[in-house]
Structure 1
Amino acid sequence: MLNIIIITLSSILVAFAYNFLLIPHEILSGGLSGIAIMLGIITPFNTGVLNLLLNLPLLILGVMKLGKRFISYTILSVAVLSVSLYIIPIYKATQEPILASLFGGVIVGFAMGMIFRAAGSSGGFDIIAMLLSRKRDFPLGTLIAAMNGVVVAVSGFVFSWDAALLTLVSIYATGKVVDTIHTSHIKLTLMIITSKGEEVKQQLLEKLHRGVTIIDAKGAYSGEGRQVLITVITRYQLADVKSTIKETDPQSFVNILQTTEVIGMFDRSTSK
């Protein structure tokens, strides 16, 4: 229930940032939302309606390919954002474009970071990244940066290059805040110390295309036997993995480390 409230409020906050700061100055956001903003400015259609239509094919694909909880939260976020964009009036909160770009990006980044922490996403490029991350060791950061680069370039041709640079500032600010709130690392190493090693292992193998290494250990204070499970995941899987571990063994100890590079078999599904 808490996650639903967080996602709902955060999606409304994103809509306020769009309609009060970015859209009045013809500044775009990253991803499909940025494309929806651009189309909303140059066509008579409402940005909220366009955002929903652009995300609809990816949401349908996500229902078939991704976990029910993640895609359900994502559908909630897209729906609330689209409705909010439709209802909230467009108002120029500041006359300074650079302030609108910077603070709009920060607010959007904060809200999207909270959505990530609640095990959801705002749709668009995040669904594409999630799908690719489950299939192969793909340079997702490069992919999303390239997609956002297209949004910036289109902004320059459609509006002005001043607007394109302001869009770049907005996207950069959003990314930095999301990284601060969620995690900036594409890959993470998890060390899970648990007394229910077999149960946790089975849950991870069922929900991830990742290998899991198990090491027998003993608690220094209690002297009781434990198992240490080590696995490497992408940042898009972190919320689901944390929830799975908590449900399987609430008493487990989990250490999450940043991973600079992975060499060798990262995707377990490719070994078949």
Structure 2
Amino acid sequence: MKKVRFIGLILGSLIVVVGFNLFLIPHQVLSSGLSGISMMFGMISPINTGLANFLLNFPLLIIGYKMLGKKFIMNSIFSVFIISLGLYLVPVHEIAKDTILSSIFGGALTGIGVGIVFRSSGSTGGFDIIGMIVSRKRDFPIGTLLSGMNAVVIVISGFLFNWDSALNTLVSIYVTGKVVDAIYTDHAKLTLMIITEKGQEMRAHLLTNLYRGLTIMDGVGGYSNNQRNVLITVISRYELNEVKNLITEVDPAAFVNITETIEVMGLFHRPSPS
């Protein structure tokens, strides 16, 4: 299982590199988040895009390592390293002449790569890490925050290059988001109900590796009449695959029901101990 995740992180990251260097960057079309800002640095300065991507993401990943799930952040660090190295080594080359087609196809490739990385229990860093950190400190909707930050990237693109580039960047970001949703999940938050005979072990394992809170209830098997625990938690879509792996590590036989969450009221994160 770990080998499959490792391969997924490498494959997804390399697909992102192809989308950037062969489709988006040659036409001055940006991706979303810090990757887009890294592209800007690469286009307007001697700094290589890969180096800029690594330098911008590294401090966030270090902070995230201390504040978020360690396995998720370690996988994210690995993905960012592969993407940064790939952007540094792979030459920028224009595959298609049409800018709109390149925006769509480059955005789709980026979405495929990011989706594979998500399914491998990692992220490509950037604004996703910022959003998760902010949502821990402030009960602020991640989706709204990410949309706002991406809007800044689009506006900067318009002023630095031209508004055609800005609109093509918007197309690229939109396509990337749709493809990620299709590959991974199209819901920002999910509710998990975990039924297990190893309730306390599961509780300790999840709380050690996640910063979400848990509610634990006692239950009785309707057929077996055995005592069980029911754990309920709400997570973001980025954490789903990692949580599934954590559950399997403790109890492969656990029954898990995953449902869409329309809205969350109250604290979405685990309160800091005082």
TM-score when normalising by structure 2: 0.92
Count of matched residue positions in the alignment of Structure 1 and Structure 2: 271
Kept after mapping to 2: 8 A contact 1:211/1:267: no
| 1:265 CA displacement | 4.7
Kept after mapping to 2: 8 A contact 1:216/1:226: yes
| 1:270 CA displacement | 6.3
Kept after mapping to 1: 8 A contact 2:202/2:250: yes
Aligned to 1:248: 250
* 1:69 lines up with 2:47 in the alignment: no
| 1:215 CA displacement | 3.8
| 1:67 CA displacement | 2.9
**Structure 1 segments (4+ residues) deviating >6 Å:** none
The change in CA–CA distance for 1:254 and 1:64 in structure 2 (over 3 A counts) is same
| 1:136 CA displacement | 4.2
The change in CA–CA distance for 1:267 and 1:46 in structure 2 (over 3 A counts) is closer
| 1:34 CA displacement | 0.4
Following the alignment from structure 2 to structure 1, what is the Cα–Cα distance between the partners of residues 165 and 112?
Answer: 22
Kept after mapping to 1: 8 A contact 2:218/2:227: no
Q: Which of 108, 116, 132 is 2:134 aligned to? A: 132
Aligned to 2:47: 45
| 1:209 CA displacement | 3.3
The change in CA–CA distance for 1:265 and 1:58 in structure 2 (over 3 A counts) is closer
Kept after mapping to 2: 8 A contact 1:105/1:174: yes
| 1:269 CA displacement | 0.8
Aligned to 2:216: 213
Aligned to 2:102: 100
Following the alignment from structure 2 to structure 1, what is the Cα–Cα distance between the partners of residues 59 and 140?
Answer: 22
Kept after mapping to 1: 8 A contact 2:18/2:109: no
- Any gaps of 5 or more consecutive residues in structure 1? none
Following the alignment from structure 1 to structure 2, what is the Cα–Cα distance between the partners of residues 161 and 34?
Answer: 15
Kept after mapping to 2: 8 A contact 1:195/1:226: yes
Kept after mapping to 2: 8 A contact 1:7/1:77: yes
- Any gaps of 5 or more consecutive residues in structure 2? none
3-state secondary structure, aligned to 2:219: strand
The change in CA–CA distance for 1:270 and 1:193 in structure 2 (over 3 A counts) is same
Following the alignment from structure 2 to structure 1, what is the Cα–Cα distance between the partners of residues 207 and 31?
Answer: 36
Equivalent runs, 1:36-185 vs 2, <5 Å: 36-185=38-187
Following the alignment from structure 1 to structure 2, what is the Cα–Cα distance between the partners of residues 254 and 137?
Answer: 26
Kept after mapping to 2: 8 A contact 1:217/1:228: no
3-state secondary structure, aligned to 1:255: strand
Identity %: 52
| 1:182 CA displacement | 1.7
Kept after mapping to 2: 8 A contact 1:28/1:37: yes
The change in CA–CA distance for 1:111 and 1:70 in structure 2 (over 3 A counts) is same
Following the alignment from structure 2 to structure 1, what is the Cα–Cα distance between the partners of residues 69 and 272?
Answer: 20
Q: What code does the residue aligned with 2:79 have?
A: S
Q: What code does the residue aligned with 1:34 have?
A: G
Aligned to 1:192: 194
Kept after mapping to 2: 8 A contact 1:187/1:258: yes
TM-score when normalising by structure 1: 0.93
1:123-176 deviation digits (Å, cap 9, x = unpaired): 111211222333443211011111100000011111111110000000001111
Q: What code does the residue aligned with 1:132 have?
A: V
Following the alignment from structure 1 to structure 2, what is the Cα–Cα distance between the partners of residues 193 and 63?
Answer: 29
